């Protein structure tokens, strides 16, 4: 069974630019989550999809972040415009029930 | 790896010895706890979990202990191996709420 995949693995952009991160969950997992770890901090929850619906987006930091999961399969997380403090590692996870399986993360660097 | 700049508590253990990693959690309403292992360049990987109605659970070479009175969780790794070197995170969640709340992590280094 293929695991959670994320693309790209690394992204370096300039302040003010737009970046879109993609997550492909494990096939059949209705639950999809986004987390991130910014420099010096712990991993923090961003949001949770159940199929294509946003179940909980309480962790989204501000309206520069937009997550979508059209069709309930893969998800994208767009940051527009990116700021310096957005630098960090963005993880996606998926689950069928309790256990969340994490992808390798996308390292985002905003210069 | 992605922990550059993240100042984690560290623990160094001689290969073959046992290690204990501790975690304090803050939410007394949390009813499910998980330990994750993260190796460089990879995402967190599930190790073992425990529900709040238990105080101990054992897996292969790993044991998780839960003390709800003092809101403390620990991960014991027996007979450590070089492959156990990683950052270990505890995480918690509440029944009915799927989001995980992570601790700061501990970097475990196994000395050959």
pLDDT digits (tens, 9 = 90+) for B6-26: 467 899 999 999 999 999 998
Closest of A41, A33, A30 to residue A92, by C-alpha: A33
- Say how far apart CA B38 and CA B41 lie, in whole Å: 8
A29 has a pLDDT exceeding 50: yes
Full residue range of the structural domain in which residue B72 is found: 10-111
Number of domains in chain A: 1
Task: Name chain A contacts of B6, Cβ cutoff 8 Å.
Answer: 37, 39-41
- Is residue A21 situated within a structural domain? yes
Give the domain range for residue A41.
5-103
Residue B1 lies in a domain: no
- What letter does residue B82 receive in the DSSP assignment? G
- Quote the DSSP letter at residue A95: E
Q: Is residue B72 part of a domain?
A: yes
* % of chain B exceeding 90 in pLDDT: 80
Phi, psi of B53 (to 5 degrees): -85, 10
Integer Cα distance of B99 and B30 in angstroms: 11
A110 part of a folded domain = no
User: Which burial class, exposed, middle or buried, applies to A42 when counting CB atoms under 10 A from its CB (0-12, 13-18, 19+)?
Assistant: middle
Say if residues A78 and A19 touch (Cβ distance below 8 Å): yes
Instruction: Report the range out of A33-37, A96-100, B40-44, B103-107 with the highest average pLDDT.
Output: A33-37
Chain A: nearest CA to B80, how far in angstroms? 24
Q: Which residues of chain A make contact with B102, given a CB cutoff of 8 A?
A: 35, 42-44
The predicted pLDDT at position A98 comes to: 83
CB contact under 8 A, A40 and B43: no
In a domain, B71, yes or no: yes
SS3 A75: strand
Q: What is the pLDDT of residues A49-108, one digit of tens each?
A: 999 999 999 999 999 999 999 888 999 999 999 999 999 999 999 999 888 999 999 999
Question: CA nearest B92: which of B39, B27, B14?
Answer: B27
Residue B30 resides in a domain: yes
- As for how many domains chain B has, the answer is 1
Which CATH number does the domain housing residue A84 bear? 2.60.40.10
CA distance B76 to B80: 10
Q: Is residue B3 part of a domain?
A: no
CATH number for the domain harbouring residue B83: 2.60.40.10
> A43 and chain B: CB distance < 8 Å anywhere?
yes
Whether B21 maps to a domain, the answer reads yes
Give yes or no for B83 touching A (CB within 8 A): no
Strand-pairing partners, residue A89, are A37, A107
A35 touches chain B (CB under 8 A): yes
Q: Would you state the pLDDT for residue B4?
A: 36
Count helices and strands in chain B by DSSP H and E runs = 0, 10
């Amino acid at each position: 069974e293929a695991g959670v995949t994320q693309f790209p693995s690394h992204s370096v952009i300039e302040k003010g630019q737009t970046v879109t991160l993609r997550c492909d969950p494990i096939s059949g997992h209705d639950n999809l989550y986004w987390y991130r770890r910014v420099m010096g901090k712990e991993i923090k929850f961003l949001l949770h999809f159940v199929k294509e619906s946003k179940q909980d987006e309480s962790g989204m930091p501000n309206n520069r972040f937009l997550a979508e999961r059209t069709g309930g399969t893969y998800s994208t997380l767009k940051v527009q415009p990116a700021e310096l403090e957005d630098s960090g590692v963005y993880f996606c996870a998926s689950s069928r029930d309790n256990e969340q399986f994490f992808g390798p993360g996308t390292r985002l660097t905003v210069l | 790896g992605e922990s550059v700049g993240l100042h984690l508590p560290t623990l160094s253990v001689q290969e073959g010895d046992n290690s204990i990693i501790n975690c304090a959690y803050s939410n007394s309403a949390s009813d499910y706890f998980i330990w994750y292992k993260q190796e460089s360049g990879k995402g967190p990987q599930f190790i073992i979990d425990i529900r709040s109605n238990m105080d101990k659970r054992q897996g292969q070479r790993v044991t998780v202990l839960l003390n709800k009175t003092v809101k403390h969780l620990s991960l014991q790794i027996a007979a450590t191996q070089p492959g156990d070197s990683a950052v270990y995170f505890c995480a918690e969640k509440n029944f009915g709420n799927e989001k995980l709340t992570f601790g700061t992590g501990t970097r475990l280094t196994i000395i050959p």
